[in-house]
Structure 1
């Protein structure tokens, strides 16, 4: 049985903290909503198990750190819902800035990858980093932040239960110690 989650509102600090956690870490049989191979769905946008595996693999290649699948799923859910909200309210993120950030990361990592080889989910993680930096810089109006928070609050998220369970307003990783979580922006809503 898949679980659906609804995001609570986030402010500048919470968005930064969530992304900072992802960056600090080195930034299947059961499917979601009856779709085998689905890791999660955010506002109708489906993310496959294959996409999740590819993201974990490429992130490890770039950073030297393999992020566990359940944590990566949490990061990608947060990234997806924030970027969808930003796009909806017209918070623009320069593709040139994303490109420069990726080029700098590849050079620093001494990676053999080119920017064109970065898969979309990893590219979106870098785009999300730029979003958080843009919000923190004050370049986003309070009105836009409020609109984004409303969209985030209203997001429909369905998470494959293999990536965790919902406990006390948080996604708790399978086998995690009490209090260890991959994110704290989710609130469970009934499915069905």
Structure 2
């Protein structure tokens, strides 16, 4: 790293009040403005080699300050305060390949069911029809639909070797679809 010219240092220090005033006008807060000026000075100090002597240092510093301000604003828009880790815990995403495999297994098992059970399960579990509506669609009694759905769920649990809710896929998409099929 090359030596910083004394003129650069002197002019930089003389511009601090102007930088602070500009920073306050952007931030509206003296503390944030001071932090912004400090960040600006650090960036300018680190990039002093790219400054061409004899050009307008004030304009160069104001550009750095302005760019830093807008960078911080963009970054702030993407960040949230999460000191307790609540948001971080809820944002975790499981790998999608497990869910895709679980969904493929479920689809294969569903196709192994007798047609009347599969139809009843899809109407009630996946399409959200009430038992009465499913019975009307299938042209049978409500008790028959309930029995078909129950047998289909039991058979799927055996085929998929499901012991409880912990056996469902780790991703929310496949777990929701699979849970809905076994619900009610």
Same fold flag (TM > 0.5): no
With CA pairs under 8 Å and 6+ residues apart, which has the higher RCO, 1 or 2? Answer: 1
User: Which structure carries more strand by proportion?
Assistant: 1
TM-score computed with the length of structure 2 as normaliser:
0.23
User: Which structure carries more helix by proportion?
Assistant: 2
Q: Which has the larger radius of gyration?
A: 2
